Structure 1
């Protein structure tokens, strides 16, 4: 298994892709015609020519229990076990060294197996095998922040989305079970122990019933705390209060030491969570593959069909389009983008004596606007307290004064907390290296930051006997809720779906963690990432199911999408694109009180690729009237800029009886001759009663502008042979591979074109290269630049990658 590199000049650290979409034929018969042999479908980046052990996910033609049920058929575990056993027996008969890892039957019919890559063709030929998928690596979707501990009072995100209003109305998630499919959970944390019963879930890493986080002394890798943080956002009830504080939790440890894992455990976790009775599952994990996530997607889709609300993070690879990663690419699961809570921006000037200037002074963080502005009240003494350890304050009078602190050794918030405990009314933290250090919202005392140079000026002032300081802090402007730059954007390649579905707070989110310190084992920390956004939505879903226990998964998803808050980009003054914010940021009270549900909550009309003339596609959605009276609904469809060439035809209005649902059909007519290639975003506005619902929609004219190349590789296959190739989401009409020198960290001169091909397949292309250039010269071992040119539908792309020739 390996990762695809999506940006140039990054070490390609993993194994190579190998061509899998080739036509298999028998040896020519006496008539000279090759006969095609039947084999199962092969998906993803699997090395078919390698002798190295490779783990794959095998899907069987025999349907899973849930799939069969939803198709009106009867399926049993016994029958599936028998069918699976037959395939495994045949596999073990034709492959000498094969290990069966996980077996699946409830949502996904199949198993995971480890065998040599060059034996996979034998697996594909076994009757009963439907498809083989790669065992993709998953990691936690979180970005570490620059401090380790925070005050639980800093938990602001749950009230912001209206969770406290739901609590006041009597909805706390009681009776609703949420599965945390993650790194495990520290179920002994005082804020979480109430949410766990005797059965706590399952550990798929160590294969036992103790889904605890990876401890600090695990020889296999780093300790983890991610799942505990996620769980706290959902259901903590102690120092902090999660979105659904009375929900029940189950933990499934599918990501092990260091916070990484693979498809085989993720699918197993999804299956077990459904069988264990979860109402909701949260997957704050992902990878960078913008593709429907094959085996995991199948499991999530059937979990949703079985009535379990699946919530997943959208990824942290923004801000460009097409950066959403699986399982955020799932067709049915609720994918969640990340927002930052509103904040005010202030300017800050500090003064110590005439002739001294501190141009780098900026507001770093504060407990509240009033406390920050209070620093303008007068002149203060400031005191050097070194790094700001508690011992650094001993013997020094800080009462009503400003603490001057150096960055380093431990968390910013702890430095501010120590200053507060010593009686300081504010702090200045200067950097210990060149440059600017980060903002940290929610500091215990108003805190100004400066560069190292300005910090040294302040120290020199103290040395010269100038120990007073004054502040001029002024309000600059407010910033509303915004989309985080790191939040991944859609659309989804191949399905062309809008993702994320919704957004939720994901920047500087305070929640529970294990400290892995026996002296003080339980703590809080602030993380950021779409990992932190997803559990806000999972918790919101728990509140909705508490209030509406008869709602299905589509009702929950639609309620969250239909009532989301449209977010405005402060840079442009316009709404963020659908593929940036989804339907918007969730608002729990609106979702609880909605009288109308529109399903699905967003629409993609797909591709319109006719060279000329009109292309018409028919679509539909369902309106559910939850009120106690008949409602007349009207419709308006607009695409951004009202482009000539797109027409949507539907009923002008529709009457839906109280408590009933009705389908709405409409035709989309696109005249591609009047439209430039690209994607067009629009909104379907549905008005009924006192409610207005905006349903995001999108369509593509011509071949969508997804990246033509998203990765490249070079790996030695044997003596004098190298596998060279590229990952092509949509294939390529023309592809060429060039070698350049790698010269002192940059691209050097051109060496040679080592391959040129036409009609390269999706999703990747590979060829064998003999390692020579310019007519037979052996290219020396070392670092080189592999530049790949691809062309598809008139769009050209040229990307360069650093590779190593062994």
Structure 2
């Protein structure tokens, strides 16, 4: 394979990109062919200014190396370097709200299992192992941020609480009871001050957890890369292959489709979305208007509990000094300065509360990573923010907070599937993730997010491992999925890409009657006019009693023809593979994601198998993960690579000068390309390129064209 020199690369994505200075210190992950220790020792001897910050020899054959961009480029000359990866940032996912008690959920389970003897690793911001509800179960861990054996939560500036909250949901045993209160708890601090970390720390933490024999690992972290090919996802895949149950939060980027991010895109991992219980949530109303504005409290904010009407003042992105805003709610636009600075400015100017609306379509989740501020802060969609600006600010109207009842549902912030490239249904399950009450350093609080949903499943997995110590990671996942309950809404059920198999049912999962092996039920992408998909579903009767199995035809949909098994008997302890055929006529099908459930009755129980396919085209990005990695500046070359979700007819990459956006030239022109990774080399010297640019990747497929912009920095003399 051609050696790639990726020392200047970070993940080149539009949101939040800043190219590093040649003298700036960065960290990258280098995969190699030779043994890890041999390469690492060679690097340290030949390049004393470089620092090997992590060695991976369990899930990856790689090292993480820190140094200046200029020094790191020399690593490309080392024989045996196979590939290099940009370091991606991961962030804890949470928001604060009204409490839901995990303790109460455990009381409803009526089980004698407590997770005794099961090792559960929490890869997160660390854990306050001195908390009285956690100290009994805490057994150790590791800190891959500071690389020592003290995985305590960050204290002081950038203090965190996230990992302790997650740990409490799993295994608190004191005033609060977690899902598995007797589990052996291990903490792996991979996210540092402010809840931020990178793939360096996350992969290192996962390696530590696997090497120390964790039965279950919880990853309540994520990014927004909707693809199955990231190094962290590969590491999760390997961990499951080696026998560890890995539970991953789906992400907080909902409610849009295609928002599940790596490593929640891992096929064998248990990806968990968030459900909300019956509760009351705050909404905003403007007098005389029927519309209600939904708000999402920022992580680290005090609860939104305003009990009076307040006028609203608009403060842009917060870059300017605020006037006296005593008795007002301050409305900001996202961008410019961090959330914490916006809220702090408003508080110092006397504000009662802060609202921040998105600068692009859709909702967002954010946090106040900087300390406690005694006024509430919440996020809005761009559409809602602009409406509030027009109808409250410009009309000099006041806003009122109203607490409205909310039925059990998929939480709006919970990321949705499917996953590009492999076209799989994600998430796999739902668990409570709204206003979850749990431990934090010095006490307790409520948070919400898929970060809070995932540890419910990690705790449930610990109970299953105690009850069935011979079960594999695959068995645990099958038991949870096979016994989940579909969540209903007014117009039927939520879709598979919203809820997967549904809400977990631990009582049923502990003693299942039937396990569903649905790995071969992936339908994929449909591009032909007439296609037939042959699928297999394996049913495993884990009881001694025979049962009759009767399939039901799905709701009729034009363009779909299902051929399902005739009614048959499944004997006790029998495993049977059944064939299912799906005929598709593209002339009658709508474009985009088509999904639903195959239902059947086995004995007295009903089962639902999610299915999904993409017909022709949908709203996902054709291009993702673009990288432009400069080689030696004096050689004037650079490597590029990106991932295509579909085959395309043509690709061009044009460069535009940053700021002026004047066209600087076409650097890549390609003909037909298959789906997957596209790689190549270009001459930056020939094109006269140096400095900051916007790379526009334009792809053409079946007569349609789409383009994607990514910031790029090229070292040299402009």
- TM, length-normalised to structure 2: 0.73
Q: Does the 8 Å contact 2:653/2:669 carry over to 1? A: no
Q: How does 1:123-142 map to 2 (within 5 A)?
A: 126=80, 132=83, 134=85, 136-142=87-93
Query: 1:769 Cα deviation (Å)?
Result: 7.2
Q: Does the 8 Å contact 1:493/1:729 carry over to 2? A: no
Q: Distance in 2 between matches of 1:702 and 1:358?
A: 41
2:276 matches 1:340? yes
2:597 matches 1:597? no
Query: 1:186 Cα deviation (Å)?
Result: 0.7
Deviations, residues 209-265 of structure 1 (Å, cap 9, x unaligned): 221122215xxxx23222111111111233433222232211112223333333343
Deviations, residues 516-550 of structure 1 (Å, cap 9, x unaligned): xxxxxx02233332212111111122233334444
Query: 1:202 Cα deviation (Å)?
Result: 1.6
Query: 1:712 Cα deviation (Å)?
Result: 6.0
2:562 matches 1:653? no
Query: 1:612 Cα deviation (Å)?
Result: 5.4
Q: Does the 8 Å contact 2:356/2:378 carry over to 1? A: no
Q: Does the 8 Å contact 1:163/1:540 carry over to 2? A: no
Name 2:440's counterpart in structure 1: 513
Q: Does the 8 Å contact 1:432/1:452 carry over to 2? A: no
Query: 1:340 Cα deviation (Å)?
Result: 2.5
SS in 1 for 2:623: coil
Query: 1:630 Cα deviation (Å)?
Result: 0.9
Q: Does the 8 Å contact 2:125/2:190 carry over to 1? A: yes
2:72 matches 1:163? no
SS in 2 for 1:193: coil
Name 1:541's counterpart in structure 2: 461
685-694 vs 84-93, greater mean Cα deviation = 84-93
Q: Distance in 2 between matches of 1:238 and 1:558?
A: 31
Q: How does 1:263-342 map to 2 (within 5 A)?
A: 263-342=199-278
Name 1:555's counterpart in structure 2: 475
2:31 matches 1:58? yes
Deviations, residues 435-487 of structure 1 (Å, cap 9, x unaligned): 997689xxxxxxxxxx9999x999xxxxxxxxxxxx999x97x5322223332
Q: Distance in 1 between matches of 2:556 and 2:136?
A: 53
- CA distance 1:15–1:584, change in 2 (3 Å): farther
Give the counterpart of 2:557 among 622, 642, 667: 642
Q: How does 1:362-401 map to 2 (within 5 A)?
A: none
Q: Distance in 1 between matches of 2:699 and 2:48?
A: 40
Q: Does the 8 Å contact 1:726/1:788 carry over to 2? A: no
Deviations, residues 377-419 of structure 1 (Å, cap 9, x unaligned): xxx9x9x9xxxxxxxxxxxxxxxxxxx99879xx9xxxxxxxx
Q: Distance in 2 between matches of 1:359 and 1:577?
A: 29
Query: 1:139 Cα deviation (Å)?
Result: 1.7
Q: Distance in 2 between matches of 1:241 and 1:299?
A: 31
Name 1:790's counterpart in structure 2: 699
Query: 1:339 Cα deviation (Å)?
Result: 2.4
Query: 1:308 Cα deviation (Å)?
Result: 2.2
Name 2:119's counterpart in structure 1: 177
Name 1:734's counterpart in structure 2: 650
Give the counterpart of 1:238 among 174, 191, 199: 174
Q: Distance in 1 between matches of 2:533 and 2:354?
A: 63
Query: 1:740 Cα deviation (Å)?
Result: 6.8
SS in 2 for 1:327: coil
SS in 1 for 2:600: strand
- CA distance 1:184–1:680, change in 2 (3 Å): same
Q: Distance in 1 between matches of 2:710 and 2:496?
A: 31
Kindly tell me the number of residue pairs found equivalent between the two proteins.
633
Q: Distance in 1 between matches of 2:522 and 2:93?
A: 29
- CA distance 1:801–1:263, change in 2 (3 Å): closer
Q: Which has the larger radius of gyration?
A: 1
2:540 matches 1:624? yes
Unmatched tracts of structure 1, length 5 or more:
17-48, 62-82, 351-355, 366-379, 385-403, 412-428, 441-450, 459-470, 515-521
Query: 1:791 Cα deviation (Å)?
Result: 1.9
Q: Distance in 2 between matches of 1:169 and 1:583?
A: 23
Q: Does the 8 Å contact 1:713/1:725 carry over to 2? A: yes
Give the counterpart of 1:607 among 504, 515, 525: 525
Q: Distance in 2 between matches of 1:177 and 1:344?
A: 36
Name 1:376's counterpart in structure 2: none
Query: 1:358 Cα deviation (Å)?
Result: 12
Q: Does the 8 Å contact 1:11/1:803 carry over to 2? A: no
Q: Does the 8 Å contact 2:25/2:66 carry over to 1? A: no
Q: Does the 8 Å contact 2:484/2:503 carry over to 1? A: yes
- CA distance 1:439–1:84, change in 2 (3 Å): closer
Q: How does 1:434-513 map to 2 (within 5 A)?
A: 479-513=406-440
Q: Does the 8 Å contact 2:230/2:263 carry over to 1? A: no
Unmatched tracts of structure 2, length 5 or more:
1-6, 297-306, 311-325, 331-339, 341-350, 358-374, 380-390
After superposition, the CA RMSD in angstroms is 4.9
Query: 1:158 Cα deviation (Å)?
Result: 5.5
Deviations, residues 738-793 of structure 1 (Å, cap 9, x unaligned): 567988xxxx88757644612367435676576999xxxx99978x7655432234
Deviations, residues 166-199 of structure 1 (Å, cap 9, x unaligned): 2x332332332211011211100112112114xx
Give the counterpart of 2:190 among 248, 254, 263: 254
